[in-house]
Amino acid sequence: MPRTDNDSWDITQSVGATALGVAAARAAETESADPLINDPFARVFVNAAGEGVWSIYADPGLLAKAVELEPDVRSRIQLMIDFMATRTAFFDEFFLGAADSGVRQVVILAAGLDARTWRLPWPDGTVVYELDQPKVLDFKTNTLREHGAQPKARLVNVPIDLRQDWPKALQEAGFDASRPAAWSAEGLVRYLPAQAQDLLFERIHSLSADGSWLASNVPGAGFTDPELVRRQREDMQRMRAAAAKLVDSEITDFDDLWYPEERTPVDGWLREYGWDVATATFSELMARYGRSVPQDAGHAMPPTLYVSAQRRR
């Protein structure tokens, strides 16, 4: 279903299901022979959600059947697993760096099924604010509670749509804009219209004391290139058709979820506003962690730029 201005979702629907896709890829990476990341909670989420299109990542039997129907599925799934593994490693390192530098306030925007609050060795005194749609946070909190998992920092859930006045909700939940914070917007920006993206970074900037940290993966150069978008769409529809034959539940059309609009380059904007910025493209990040993009599948990934920044003191 196409997006609307005030749409909402639970974990198995619409944009919520993308969080399950990420979790399934993290589960597959964690359980692989030479994992780059270790996220034991990813499997817990996938099991709790039941069967869906995400199961193709995390269930080898289902993957084998999908490959019989559509041989390209294997390389596309592996690329997605590598994408999520390297992305997860990038954000993990970002947060550990921020914690080492003394930052004790963390804000995870569009937290989805990111389990860093339960996984990373946060220093004493760290508070993590997690923002996402209410039903997504409910699923996450209830699933981990039933599993007996304990957060490793003080967790504050801020259930809200990020198109609403989340800065107010965040501050009412205890966030202190006079102290530095570490922010992540991981796997979020393409699901926001271009204007909402601008507003998101303006709001982060206005809540960021000097010494704050920020990381995001954002649409990279060529993101709206019509030929690339056409090929991605075609690829996605083939994969979707194969999945529909195997999974007995509604298959979200992920192509309907993102906004193919020209956007303000976030790295340049942040520099203008006094942040020191480092960037890496998707293939640079893959190479950094010893993964590669197969020649015949490179077009399957939307161009992505990884941005990490620190606001100058």
Ligand X SMILES: C[S@@+](CC[C@H](N)C(=O)[O-])C[C@H]1O[C@@H](n2cnc3c(N)ncnc32)[C@H](O)[C@@H]1O
| Interface contacts to ligand X, rule CB under 6 A | 15-16, 18-19, 22, 110-114, 132-133, 136, 161-163, 186-188, 191
What's the min distance (Å) between Cβ of 160 and ligand X? 7
Would you tell me how many other CB atoms lie within 10 Å of the CB of residue 296? 9
What's the min distance (Å) between Cβ of 194 and ligand X? 14
Residue number with CB closer to ligand X (2 or 102):
2
Residue number with CB closer to ligand X (69 or 191):
191
Residue number with CB closer to ligand X (15 or 301):
15
Beta-bridge partner residues of 276: 310
Taking the C-alpha atoms of residue 231 and residue 247, their distance in angstroms, rounded to an integer, is 24
Q: Which two tokens stand for residue 73?
A: 């599925």
145 burial type by CB count under 10 A (0-12 exposed, 13-18 middle, 19+ buried):
exposed
What's the min distance (Å) between Cβ of 300 and ligand X? 16
Residue number with CB closer to ligand X (183 or 275):
183
Residue number with CB closer to ligand X (83 or 122):
83
What's the min distance (Å) between Cβ of 219 and ligand X? 14
Residue number with CB closer to ligand X (140 or 291):
140
Beta-bridge partner residues of 127: 105, 154
Residue number with CB closer to ligand X (134 or 211):
134
What's the min distance (Å) between Cβ of 112 and ligand X? 2
What's the min distance (Å) between Cβ of 69 and ligand X? 25
- The DSSP line for 96-147 is HHHHHTT--EEEEET-TT--HHHHS-PPTT-EEEEEE-HHHHHHHHHHHHHT
Closest residue to ligand X, judged by C-beta, is 112
Beta-bridge partner residues of 76: none
What's the min distance (Å) between Cβ of 163 and ligand X? 5
